[in-house]
Amino acid sequence: EIVMTQSPGTLSVSPGERATLSCRASQSVSSNLAWYQQKRGQAPRLLIYDASTRATGIPARFSGSGSGTEFTLTISSLQSEDFAVYYCQQYNNWPPLTFGGGAKVQIK
């Protein structure tokens, strides 16, 4: 089973600032990585797939990068609606499909 590790667990950022979230895989997942956003009381929403492709309707301030075992989600200028929990997920080796433990982006 591929273990996904996200860091930091919590990130405190001011609106308008850049947020950078990391995700590390226990072995290479190539570019088979997705990012999701989950707001309180809501279902997750797909942001990024194939490590760097934005999903339909996702604003350009969200970008993904990386391959192999190291990945990054960057939010270039945080808006109020971006404060949420973010999860990475690998789909290179499965079953099982595995998620990171989540990273909370909160207002500083």
Q: Give the footprint of another protein on this chain (CB under 8 A).
A: 32, 34, 36, 42-46, 49, 55, 87, 89, 91, 94-102
CB nearer to another protein: pick between 61 and 99 = 99
- What is the residue type of 90? Q
In the complex, least distance from residue 78 CB atom to another protein, rounded to whole angstroms: 22
| HSE toward the beta carbon, residue 108, CA cutoff 13 A | 11
In the complex, least distance from residue 46 CB atom to another protein, rounded to whole angstroms: 5
| Number of other residues whose CB lies within 10 A of the CB of residue 79 | 11
Pairing of strands 103-107, 10-13: parallel
CB nearer to another protein: pick between 78 and 85 = 85
